Structures are given as C-alpha cells and as structure tokens.
C-alpha cells in the first residue's frame, strides 16, 4: 500500500494515524503545474499552509523541512520507523 504526494496531507489530518506495516508514504515539496493561469492559488502560500498543518499535527520540524526540501519531481520514502519517531504516524499495525 502506497500513499504519495498530496494524500500525505490528508493522512496527517487524521486524529489517530495508523500505518500498515507494509505501507509507504512518499513525500516531496509542492509544485503547481497548469497550462491555465491559476488566479487564486499561490504555490508558496499553499506550501506554508501544509507546513503549518504538519507542525500542528506534532511532526518534528526537521522532518517537515526535509519533506519540503525534496524536489517535487522526486519522492522521499521515509521508513515506518522514521514516520513513527517524528509523529507522522502514531501506530504501525503489524
């Protein structure tokens, strides 16, 4: 089971975040691509909002920095142990 990119924002919004033992969460910094002009959206504002969401969820600051430092073209796949230790997940279901 894999959750990558924007679904990590939905995951961090959970009150009790349980990660299946085989699950992987892929993370990276924000990117907005469109051939159309997106008038009411600013990539930096959205990324700042996501940073705040992760901080309010209790995720370690160094982890949030690493996540957003990962280029949008790439993907960072932290281990389940890392996700637990920094507060992304509360429990790993075995």
For the segment 52-74, what is each residue's pLDDT rounded down to a tens digit? Answer: 999 999 999 999 999 999 988 88
Is residue 71 in a domain? yes
- Placement of tokens 């996540």 in the chain: 67
36 lies in some domain = no
Considering the domain boundaries, does residue 37 fall inside one? no
Domain count, the chain: 1
Q: What is the pLDDT of residue 31?
A: 66
pLDDT digits (tens, 9 = 90+) for 23-50: 999 998 876 665 556 666 677 788 889 9
Grade residue 5 by pLDDT with cuts at 50, 70 and 90: confident
Instruction: Please report which confidence band the pLDDT of residue 88 belongs to, taking 50, 70 and 90 as the band edges.
Output: very high
11, part of any domain? yes
pLDDT of residue 36: 59
CATH code (residue 53) = 3.90.226.10
For residues 11-19, average pLDDT: 92
User: How many angstroms separate the most distant Cα atoms in the chain?
Assistant: 46
Quote the CA–CA distance of 2 and 36 in Å, as a whole number.
Answer: 30
| Angle (deg, nearest 10), helices 61-69 and 43-56 | 150
Prediction pTM value: 0.80
């Amino acid at each position: 089971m894999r959750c990558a990119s924007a679904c990590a924002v939905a995951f961090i919004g959970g009150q009790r975040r349980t990660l299946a033992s085989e699950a992987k969460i892929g993370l990276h910094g924000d990117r907005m691509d469109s051939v159309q002009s997106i008038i009411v959206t600013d990539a930096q504002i959205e990324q700042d909002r996501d940073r705040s969401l992760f901080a309010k969820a209790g995720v370690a600051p160094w982890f949030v920095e690493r996540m957003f430092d990962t280029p949008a073209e790439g993907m960072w796949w932290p281990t389940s142990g890392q996700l637990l230790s920094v507060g992304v997940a509360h429990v790993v279901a075995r």
